[in-house]
Amino acid sequence: MTGLDGRVAIVTGAGQGVGRGIALAMAERGARVVIAARRAQTGDPVVDEISARGGEAVCIVTDVTRRDDVAACVDAAVARFGALHVMIHNAFRGGVAHRLEDAGADVWEQNSRTAVWGSFFCAQLAYPHLRDAGARGRLILVTSPAGVEGSANIPLYAPVKAAQRAIAKSLAREWGPHGITVNCIAPVAETPALAHAFASNPTLKERLEARTPLGRVGDAERDIGSVAAFLASDDAGYVTGQTIVCDGGSFTGL
C-alpha cells in the first residue's frame, strides 16, 4: 500500500474502539493525525501510543454535535500541520437496543446528532481544505452494516447510518470534479462497547463468530484501520461513493 507520508488526517471519536484503531493505522503509515475526541482523558493516551511508535499526533477535544467544536478542530489541525487532506468521521453516541414503540425523541436526537449532523459538520467544514488537497482529498464516514440491511433491534440507529451512505454518495458526485473521494466503511470489530456486550451476554461472541466465515470478530487497527488507510491512500484514488463492509463475511448479501 502506498504510504501516507505528508498527509494530515482528522479522526473523530479516536479515543477508543474503531476510531483509535483507524488513528493508529493512519499514523503507522506516516500520516500526522488529529485525535478528535470528546474527552482528553481518552484522546491523550492515543496520542501517547502514536508518539511511542514514532508517529506524530495531537488531541483536540471535539464534540461533533457542535459545529463550533468541529470548526475549531479543523482550524487547529491546519494551524498545527499546515493542511488537511483526510477527514474521517467515526464518532457516535447511541445505538442502544430499543423498540420503536418505546423510543422517545431523545433516542432519535442522540443517534442523529452524531451520525447525521456530525457528518454534515465534518464534511462542510473540511471541504475547503480537501478541495485544496485535490486528488489527495478524502472524506471517510464510518457507518454500519445496519445502515445497509436495517435492524429489528435498533430501528432508529439503522436509518441514521443509512443517511451517512446517502451523504457519501451525494458528495462523491458533488466533489468528484475536484478529485476528492468520499467513501464509507461499515465495520464489525472489537470495541469497548462490544466487549461490554460480550460480558453481559456470554453467548453473543460465540454466536457472532459462528456466523462469520472468517470465524472471528475484527480487530479495530489491523482489520478496520488498514481499510481506512487504503481509502486515504493514492491506491484508492479511483474508489468513491462506495461502502466497504469490513465484517469478515458476516453480511455476505450486502
pLDDT of res. 56: 98
Q: Where are the domains of the chain?
A: 8-246
Residue 253 pLDDT > 70: no
**Sign of the torsion angle spanned by Cα atoms 51, 56, 61, 64:** negative
Q: Which three cell numbers stand for residue 140?
A: 471517510
For 8-246, CATH number out of 2.40.37.10, 3.10.20.520, 3.40.50.720, 3.90.1720.10 equals 3.40.50.720
Q: Mean pLDDT for the chain?
A: 93
DSSP-assigned letters across all residues of 134-201: GGG-EEEEE--THHHH--SS-TTHHHHHHHHHHHHHHHHHHHGGGT-EEEEEEE-B--HHHHHHHHH-
Dihedral angle over CA of 136, 65, 185, 126, nearest 10 = -10
Dihedral angle over CA of 32, 91, 159, 233, nearest 10 = 10
Q: Which three cell numbers stand for residue 217?
A: 470478530
Q: Which three cell numbers stand for residue 63?
A: 464534540
Q: Which of 127, 157, 175, 230 is catalytic?
A: 157
Cα–Cα distance, 97 to 158 (Å, whole number): 11
- Our measurement of the distance from residue 2's CA atom to the centroid of its chain's CA atoms, rounded to an integer in Å, reads 20
More reliable by pLDDT, 110 or 200: 110
Cα–Cα distance, 120 to 118 (Å, whole number): 5
Q: What is the pLDDT of residues 192-201, one digit of tens each?
A: 777 777 777 7
Cα–Cα distance, 26 to 231 (Å, whole number): 10
Q: What is the pLDDT of residues 123-147, one digit of tens each?
A: 999 999 999 999 999 999 999 988 9
Q: CA-based angle 146:136:120, to the nearest 5?
A: 40
At 76, give phi and psi (nearest 5°).
-65, -40
Cα–Cα distance, 204 to 197 (Å, whole number): 8
Other beta carbons less than 10 A from residue 181's beta carbon: 25
Coil, strand or helix: which one is 9? strand
Q: Which three cell numbers stand for residue 115?
A: 451520525
Name the one residue in this structure whose C-alpha cell is 445505538. Answer: 95
Between helix 105-112 and helix 157-175 the angle, nearest 10°, is 30
- Average the pLDDT over 25-51 and give the result: 98
Q: What is the pLDDT of residues 216-245, one digit of tens each?
A: 989 999 999 999 999 999 999 999 999 999
Is residue 157 part of the annotated active site? The answer reads yes
DSSP-assigned letters across all residues of 82-126: S---EEEE----------GGG--HHHHHHHHIIIIIHHHHHHHHH
